[in-house]
Amino acid sequence: AGRDVLVDLSGECYLLPQSFDAWDLPHKYIAPSSGAEARVLSRHLGVTALTAAEAYKRHVVGPGGAAAQRLPAAARDAALLRMLHALPALAAQDPSLVAFLCTEAGSWLPNSAGKLQPPSCLYDPRNLDLAALLPDSCFPAAPFSEDEMVLSVLAGQLGLRTLATRDTLLQAARYVEGLACRVEGRAANSAEDGALASSTYDDDADADSDMVLARSKALLAYLELEAARLMAPAFSSSSSSSGGGGGSSGSMQAGSTPEGAKHGRRFGLFSRVTDLFNQHAPLLQGKPAGEGSDSQHKQQQQQQQQQQQG
C-alpha cells in the first residue's frame, strides 16, 4: 500500500469503489485515485468494477469471517463501522447483503475482548438488565457499543440480541458461579500463605465478592420479573405432554420422569443463584431486635386469656 505496483490488466483485475481502502489486498484489486481514472479503467480497459456491497462482502467480512480475521484490527473496525453506517444504501444496492452478514459471514463483529463473533451471539448494551447480568465479553466492542446508529442497525437487521432467554440466564449464572469460585480460591490461597500475604488478596477478593453479590441480586430480580415469560414455553410443553387422557398409569409415570427432570433443571437455576446470593450476601446474626420480646408478650397474653376463661 505504500508503493505503486504495475498491474497486468489483461489478467484478472477488479476495480474497488472510490474511497474504499485497499489495505493489504492482492494487487489484482485496484483502488482508483479519482472518478475519471475509475471510468477509464472500467469503460475503456475492461476492468471489472466491484460495487461497495461486493467489496465489503469479499474484503471486509468475507465468507466465514475470513477477511475480518485477516485485516488489522483498527482498519477492520473502521471499515465495519463505515459498512454499518451505510448498510441501508448497501442493502438497496445488494438485497442479499443483510442475509449474508447474518449467516454466511459467520464471525465478524468484535466483542469487548476483541474476539470476532456473529452478531446473533452478542447482546445489546442499551438493555441495562443485560448489562447488569452478563460479562463485558457478551457485548460488541466499544466503537460499536457507543454508536447509537450502529446498535440500531445491529439489533434491527443483523440479529443482535435485545432480550434475555433461559440460555442467557444460565450463562449469567455460570459467570456468577465462576466469580464465586474465584473468590473462594483466593480466600483459600490467602489462608495458606498466612496473614502477611493475605493483605494482597483483600482488595481483589472484596471487589469480586461485591460483584458476585451485585450480579446475583440482578439475576434474582430479573428472574422474578420475567419468570412468566421465560417459563411459558416450559409450562406449555408440560400442558401439551399431559393433555392425553388415555394410557396406563405405568406409561404415564415412565413418561413423566424426563419431563420432571427437565423442569427440575430449569428451576434448579433459581435455586443455584439463590445459593450463590446467600453465600456472599451479608447475613444477620441472631434474631432481629424485638422479635423475641414480641413473641413472649403474645404468649403472656394467651396465658392471661386462658386464666380468665378458666
Task: With H, G, I as helix, E, B as strand and everything else as coil, classify residue 260.
Answer: helix
87 vs 211: which has the higher pLDDT:
87
- Using one digit for the tens of pLDDT, what is the confidence trace for 103-161? 999 999 999 999 999 999 999 999 998 898 898 999 999 999 999 999 999 999 999 99
Q: Picking from 7-11, 83-87, 141-145, 241-245, which range would have the lowest pLDDT averaged per residue?
A: 241-245
User: Which pLDDT score is estimated for 276?
Assistant: 52
User: Which pLDDT score is estimated for 77?
Assistant: 93
* Whether the Cβ atoms of residue 14 and residue 28 lie closer than 8 Å to each other: yes
Return d(Cα 214, Cα 209) in angstroms, integer.
9
Is residue 261 over pLDDT 60?
no
Pick from 64, 63, 74: nearest CA to 24 = 74
207 vs 30: which has the higher pLDDT:
30
**Average pLDDT over all residues of the chain:** 75
Return d(Cα 296, Cα 287) in angstroms, integer.
14
User: Which pLDDT score is estimated for 272?
Assistant: 54
Is residue 254 over pLDDT 50?
no
Task: With H, G, I as helix, E, B as strand and everything else as coil, classify residue 178.
Answer: helix
Q: Which three cell numbers stand for residue 249?
A: 398409569
Q: What is the pTM of this model?
A: 0.66
Beta partners for residue 116, in sequence order: 110
Place of cell 434474582: 220
Mean pLDDT comparison of 105-114, 167-176, 251-260, highest-scoring range: 105-114
40 alpha carbon, distance to own chain's centre: 48
Region 243-249: mean pLDDT is: 42
User: Which pLDDT score is estimated for 245?
Assistant: 44
pLDDT band at 260 (very low <50, low <70, confident <90, very high): very low
Q: Picking from 72-76, 124-128, 221-225, 297-301, which range would have the lowest pLDDT averaged per residue?
A: 297-301
User: Which pLDDT score is estimated for 104?
Assistant: 92
| Beta strands 116-117; 14-15: pairing state | unpaired
Beta partners for residue 110, in sequence order: 116
Could you give the residue ranges of the DSSP H alpha helices within 104-194? 128-133, 142-145, 148-157, 166-193
Is residue 23 over pLDDT 60?
yes
184 vs 290: which has the higher pLDDT:
184
Return d(Cα 281, Cα 131) in angstroms, integer.
21
Is residue 292 over pLDDT 60?
no
User: Which pLDDT score is estimated for 114?
Assistant: 94
Q: Picking from 72-76, 101-105, 188-192, 201-205, which range would have the lowest pLDDT averaged per residue?
A: 201-205
User: Which pLDDT score is estimated for 28?
Assistant: 77
User: Which pLDDT score is estimated for 223?
Assistant: 80
Region 33-39: mean pLDDT is: 84
Region 78-103: mean pLDDT is: 94
Task: With H, G, I as helix, E, B as strand and everything else as coil, classify residue 37.
Answer: helix
pLDDT band at 85 (very low <50, low <70, confident <90, very high): very high
Return d(Cα 105, Cα 86) in angstroms, integer.
17
User: Which pLDDT score is estimated for 155?
Assistant: 97
Return d(Cα 169, Cα 177) in angstroms, integer.
12
Can you give the C-alpha Rg of the chain in angstroms?
A: 30
